[in-house]
Chains A and B, each alone.
Chain A
Amino acid sequence: MSTHNLAPVDAHGDNLDAHDPANVVNPEHVAHHIVSPKTYALIFGVLMLGTALTVIASELPLGIFNAPIAIAIACTKAVFVVLFFMHVKYSSKLVKLTVSAGFFTFFVLVMMTMLDYVSRAWGRW
Chain B
Amino acid sequence: MSIASTIPHPPEPEIHASHDVHEHPFYQKHHFETAEQQREAASFGMWLFLLTEIMFFGGLFFAYLLYRNWYYDAFVAASNSISLPLGLTNTVVLISSSFTMAMGVWAAEIRNKKYLQTALVATIVLGFIFLGIKTVEYKAKFDEHHVPGASFDIADFVHPPAGSHEKPLTVDMANHTQIYFSLYFAMTGVHAFHMIIGIAILFVLLYKARTGLYTTGYVQPIENFGLYWHFVDIVWIFLFPFLYLINRH
Binding site for B on A (CB under 8 A): 4-7, 15, 17-20, 22-23, 25-26, 30, 32, 34-37, 40-41, 43-44, 47-48, 51, 54-55, 58-61, 66-67, 70-71, 73-74, 77-78, 81-82, 84-87, 91-92, 94-95, 98-99, 102-103, 105-106, 109-110, 113, 117
B234 and A51 form a contact (CB under 8 A)? no
Chain B interface, DSSP helix/strand/loop, else mixed? helix
Q: Which residue of A lies closest to B245 (CB)?
A: A58
Chain A residues within an 8 Å CB radius of B92: 48, 51
Which residues between 171 and 199 of chain B lie within 8 Å of chain A, taking CB atoms? Answer: none
Number of interface residues of B (CB under 8 A): 59
Smallest CB separation, A85 vs chain B (Å)? 5
B237 and A22 form a contact (CB under 8 A)? no
Picked from B22, B54, B111, B249, the residue with its CB within 8 Å of the CB of A22 is B22
B54 and A106 form a contact (CB under 8 A)? yes
CA distance in complex: A30, B227 (Å): 19
Binding site for A on B (CB under 8 A): 17-18, 21-22, 33-37, 39-40, 43-44, 47-48, 50-51, 54-55, 58, 62, 66, 84, 88, 91-92, 95-96, 98-99, 101-103, 105-106, 109-112, 215, 217, 219, 223, 226-227, 230-231, 233-234, 237-238, 240-242, 245-249
12 A-B contacts (beta carbon < 8 Å): A32-B39, A47-B98, A58-B248, A74-B241, A81-B234, A85-B99, A86-B231, A87-B223, A95-B43, A106-B55, A109-B55, A113-B62
| Contact (A74, B237) CB under 8 Å given A7-B217, A40-B99, A58-B245 | yes
Q: Max chain A CB contacts within 10 Å: which of B55, B101, B223, B237?
A: B237
A109 and B58 form a contact (CB under 8 A)? yes
A40 and B103 form a contact (CB under 8 A)? yes
A48 and B217 form a contact (CB under 8 A)? no
How many residue pairs link A and B with beta carbons under 8 A? The number is: 158
A22 and B39 form a contact (CB under 8 A)? no
| Contact (A23, B33) CB under 8 Å given A51-B95, A106-B54 | yes
* Nearest 9 pairs of A and B residues by beta carbon: A102-B51, A58-B245, A70-B241, A44-B99, A23-B34, A34-B109, A20-B34, A58-B248, A40-B102
Q: Which residue of B lies closest to A113 (CB)?
A: B62
B99 and A73 form a contact (CB under 8 A)? no
